[in-house]
Each structure stands twice: as C-alpha cells, then as structure tokens.
C-alpha cells in the first residue's frame, strides 16, 4: 500500500481512510522535520530567557497567570496529561483513534507547536506498528479541543521518571488489550518524557472531532451515491414517472446537488421499460422530490468536506510559535467549525434516510406499489401466513426516528468551564459522534430500501418477464443478487440486509454501476 507522507499541509480525507482503516504506512516529510526542529529551538530559547509564556512556563486555563520554573517543565507536561485523562464511556473505535493519531501528527508537523521531532515520529510509530490507545468516547467539549481523549492517547506513549505502569493507560496491540507501557514495550517503541510545551501541544485541539468528521465525510459520499441507486431501483419497481427528473426542471431552479441526483437517476434508469409504465401523472414526494431532498446533501457535503480538510491540516494548539520565536496565544483549538459542520452533515444524512424509508414503505403497501403483493410476500395468497418484509420497514422507521433525535444540533449548546475562563464551548466531539451514528443508521436504512426494491423487481419480472431494468440499476440489482438470493417465503431477513449494507459501504454497488453520473 502506498505510503502516506505528512508535512502538515497536504493530508487528505482519503489519506486518513487509508491509514485508519487499511493500515497504510506513514512517514514524516523531511521539510516538516526541519520546520518542527526550528520551532522546538524557539521553545528552548523562550525557556532559557525565563520570560512567562502561556503553556510553556505557566499553568493552564484558569491558572494561566501562575509562573512555573523551567526546572518543572517535564512535571508540568506530565501533570497536564495525567489530570486531563478523565474520559468515560465505551472506547472509541480503533479507526477513530488511528485517524486522530494521524491528524495530530500532521498538526504538529506544521512546525508551529514547538515539540521535538521525536514526538511526531513516536505518533507515526504507533500507526506503523499498530499500537492503538484505548480512548473513552465521552468527556470532550471540543474546547480547548479534545483535551480528555488526547490525554488518554498521550498516556500510552508518554511517561515520567517513575514510569509507573498504572499511569500508562491501555492500548490494543496484536489483538490484545495491554497497559500502555506493555504495549509500547512489545512494539519496541520508547515512551517519551515530555518537555516544555509538549504536553499542551499533544492534547490541545479538536483532533478527535476532526478525525471522526473525516471518516464521516468519506462515508457520507458513499451513502449519497447509494441513495441515488436505491432511489432509481425503487422508481422502477413502482413504475414511477420520469417527468420529475427532467433536467430542464432542475436547471430552472439551479441547485447543483438537485441536478446531480436527477441526472444520476436518468443515467441509472436509461433503457428501462418500467418507468412511466403505470400511467400516473405524478408520483408522491418521496419519489418526485427526491432530487430536491437528496441533492442538498451533496451541497452540504461539499461544504463540510472543505471545512474538515482545512481542519486536518491546521495548527490547533495554543500558543503557536512564529518566526523568530514569537509565541502568540489564541483560540485555534476551539472546535466550533467542526461541531457546526458535523451538525449540518447529520441533518442532511438524516433527511436522506428519512426519504429512503418512505420509499420502502410505498414498496410494501399494496395500495401504493403498483399492484405488487402487500408486504412483498411471494404471492397474495401467502399474505397472513407470511409477513413478508413488514419488519425491515419497522427497523428503518426506528432508525429514522433515532436519527431525528441525533440530528438535533449539538453545536448550539454550551456550558462554561475552567472558572469561566472557557466560557463558550463548542460541543464538537458530541456533534461528531452523533453524525457518525447517523451515518451508521443511514447505511442500514438504505440497505433496507435496496433489499426491498430488489425483491420488488423480482416480483415485477414475474408479472412481466419481458421487462427491461435500467442500464445502471440492473448492474446494481445483479451485484445484490450475486450475494443475496430471492427467497419466496418468510426467512431470516437480517443477514441478507447486512450483506447488502456491506456491498453499499464498501462501494461494491457504486463500482458495479460502471457509469459516470
């Protein structure tokens, strides 16, 4: 797998996915090492002058005015990590922690933080040797960044003169959860005693929020494409109207995302004998207005991606150091940009799932599905003895309702901390975690629609064996039927839906289409 080179400026979302999910190797660019060394020399000069500079030789937060002797620099950094490691909740997924390590290494590689190069190289070693710290999922406000999660991460690879194992946190290594000290020993990575500024440089910034955001952006693109496929399949299964996808109509409104969805449906359904086959004048909103509802998701994603791409290449600790060694204190750690766009993304995906569930509902209602059996039982006479796909729609409805709660904005909520010194907090980590949950729920809702629409097309073909499915949708249908076969009677549907979800999230369906939208 191609190596990911970090220099502080060019990390991509795709790089993060490659490292976090596929263990791509990572290296530090030589130019970045030079920038890191230069900034560290500035810190050493500040320490030697013994002039008070926040985060280097002072306390933190409400204790910013407390002067700390240079001789206590290591103790100051260690105390920061120990005292801030108070997260709670189930551990974050390994891919999130690996993504956060990469983002943090890239942040420090910019050369504004004043750390030693060995610190960045140690973070990279965690990735390359697959030592993954156990990090609790709750307890971060996203301001001053993700202090708690980053401190739990730092417990594993940092230490002090006592080198206590019970203060080393925990890490996953080679399939086993070990103390941080033991995991590092087995992996052959030396733990670091942090110096001046390094504790704050490690744990200051909305890094975990941004890491979750990057993964969510990548997955959201997959789901929005999948929603176009499921929409096209359902449109054919219910013999829907083509007029609502006329490009003249969408050009008249001028929203690029709306036009994109309409064009995708046209391409996918090209050559279909089912479209316009029932004689309706117009369809219900879940079909007719799908370009408008799903299209704004694409435009939202474009904006969100831009913010997240900037954030994963941003200097986010405090203070930052600039030539010729000037420390400037500010608020780049504040997670508001990430929190707000995660709320936006969650709302857009929640709506995508919502309209998908409505289409699934229509496929199952014998009064709305253009004469297919109710609940898509194999034959109408089987109704009652068999429940058909009644319950998958229940699951979809439940997930949509859950999304509606999760999509309530988190970034508008704030509580003050640190004796009012930090009087406006971003709540970015919660927003990012909720967006990730919405992503997962939406994937399952779309898988249910794909499962349902595939069955509806099977039943439609029984009615008219000569029917032609669209050039694009037939390829998606075939990809589904390759792994999930039609079963006439009631069955354990759940595993089939899970298999289709795997096809969706791994982009197998997207790749099977072989057409450019």
- The pair of structure tokens assigned to 66 is 């407390």
Write the CATH number of the domain with boundaries 4-204.
1.10.275.10
Q: In sequence order, what are the residues at sequence separation of 6 or more whose Cβ sits closer than 8 angstroms to the Cβ of residue 321?
A: 39, 42, 43, 112, 113, 114, 327, 328
| Domain spanning 212-319+330-414+425-513, CATH class | mainly alpha
Q: Helix/strand/coil (H, E, C) string of 292-341?
A: HHHHHHHHHHHHHHHHHHHHCCCCCCCCEEECCCEEECCCCCCCHHHHHH
Tokens 């904005």 correspond to 409
Q: Would you write out the chain's pLDDT as a tens digit for each of its 517 residues?
A: 899 999 999 999 999 999 999 999 999 999 999 999 999 999 999 888 877 888 788 877 777 778 878 788 889 899 999 999 999 999 999 999 999 999 999 999 999 999 999 999 999 999 999 999 999 999 999 988 999 999 999 999 999 999 999 999 999 999 999 999 999 999 999 999 999 999 999 999 999 999 999 999 999 999 999 999 999 999 999 999 999 999 999 999 999 999 999 999 999 999 999 999 999 999 999 999 999 999 999 999 999 999 999 999 999 999 999 999 899 999 999 999 999 999 999 999 999 999 999 999 999 999 999 999 999 999 999 999 999 999 999 999 999 999 999 999 999 999 999 888 888 999 999 999 999 999 999 999 999 999 999 999 999 999 999 999 999 999 999 999 999 999 999 999 999 999 999 999 999 999 999 766 6
Q: Helix 336-364 and helix 207-237: axis angle, to 10°?
A: 20
22, 357, 29, 26: which is closest to 215 by C-alpha? Answer: 22
Tokens 């998958």 correspond to 392
Single pTM value for the model: 0.97
CA-based Rg of the chain, rounded to a whole angstrom? 26
Alpha carbon distance 351, 347 (integer Å):
6
Question: Does residue 57 contact residue 68 with C-beta atoms inside 8 Å?
Answer: yes
Alpha carbon distance 8, 310 (integer Å):
11
486 is catalytic: no
Q: Helix/strand/coil (H, E, C) string of 392-414?
A: HHHHHHHHHHHHHHHCCCCCCCC
- The pair of structure tokens assigned to 388 is 């058909």
Please tell me which residue in 54, 218, 278, 477 is annotated as part of the active site: 54
* Domain spans in the chain, listed from the N-terminal domain onward: 4-204, 212-319+330-414+425-513
């Amino acid at each position: 797998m191609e190596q990911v080179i970090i220099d502080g400026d060019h990390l991509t979302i795709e790089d993060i996915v490659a490292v976090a999910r596929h263990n791509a190797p990572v290296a530090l660019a030589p130019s970045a090492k030079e920038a890191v060394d230069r900034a560290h020399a500035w810190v050493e000069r500040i320490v030697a002058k013994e002039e008070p500079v926040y985060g280097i030789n002072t306390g933190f937060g409400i204790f910013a005015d407390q002067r700390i002797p240079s001789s206590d620099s290591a103790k100051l950094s260690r105390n920061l990590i120990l005292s801030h490691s108070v997260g709670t909740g189930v551990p974050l997924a390994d891919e999130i922690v690996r993504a956060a390590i990469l983002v943090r290494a890239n942040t420090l590689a910019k050369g504004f933080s004043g750390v030693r190069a060995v610190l960045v190289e140690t973070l990279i070693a965690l990735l390359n040797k697959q030592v993954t710290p156990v990090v609790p999922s709750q307890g971060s406000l996203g301001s001053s960044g993700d202090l708690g999660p980053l401190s739990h991460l730092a417990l594993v690879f940092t230490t002090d003169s006592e080198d206590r194992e019970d203060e080393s946190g925990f890490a996953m290594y080679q399939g086993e959860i070990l103390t941080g000290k033991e995991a590092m020993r087995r992996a052959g990575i030396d733990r670091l005693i942090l110096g001046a500024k390094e504790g704050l440089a490690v744990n200051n910034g909305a890094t975990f929020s941004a890491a979750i955001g990057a993964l969510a952006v990548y997955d959201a693109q997959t789901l929005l494409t999948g929603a176009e496929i499921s929409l096209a399949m359902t449109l054919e299964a219910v013999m829907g109207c083509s007029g609502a996808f006329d490009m003249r109509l969408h050009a008249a409104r001028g929203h690029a995302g709306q036009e994109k969805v309409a064009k995708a449906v046209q391409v996918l359904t090209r050559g279909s004998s089912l479209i316009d086959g029932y004689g309706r004048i117009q369809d219900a909103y879940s079909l007719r207005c799908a370009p408008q509802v799903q299209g704004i998701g694409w435009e939202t994603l474009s904006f969100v991606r831009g913010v997240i791409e900037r954030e994963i290449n941003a200097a986010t600790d405090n203070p930052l150091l600039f030539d010729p060694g000037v420390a400037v204190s500010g608020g780049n750690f504040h997670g508001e940009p990430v929190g707000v766009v995660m709320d936006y993304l969650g709302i857009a995906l929640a709506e995508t799932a919502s309209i998908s569930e409505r289409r699934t509902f229509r496929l199952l209602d014998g009064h709305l599905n253009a004469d297919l059996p109710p609940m898509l039982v194999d034959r109408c006479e089987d109704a009652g003895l068999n429940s058909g796909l009644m319950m998958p729609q229940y699951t979809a409805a439940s997930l949509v309702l859950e999304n509606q709660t999760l999509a309530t904005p988190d970034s508008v909520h704030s509580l003050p901390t640190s004796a009012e010194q930090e009087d406006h907090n971003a709540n970015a980590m919660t927003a990012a975690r909720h967006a990730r949950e919405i992503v997962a729920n939406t994937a399952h809702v779309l898988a249910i629609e794909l499962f349902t629409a595939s069955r509806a097309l099977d039943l439609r073909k029984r009615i008219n064996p000569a029917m032609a499915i669209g050039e694009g949708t037939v390829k998606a249908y075939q990809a589904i039927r390759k792994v999930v076969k039609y079963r006439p009677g009631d069955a354990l549907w759940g595993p089939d839906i899970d298999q289709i979800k795997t096809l969706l999230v791994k982009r197998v369906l997207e790749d099977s289409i072989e057409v450019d939208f």
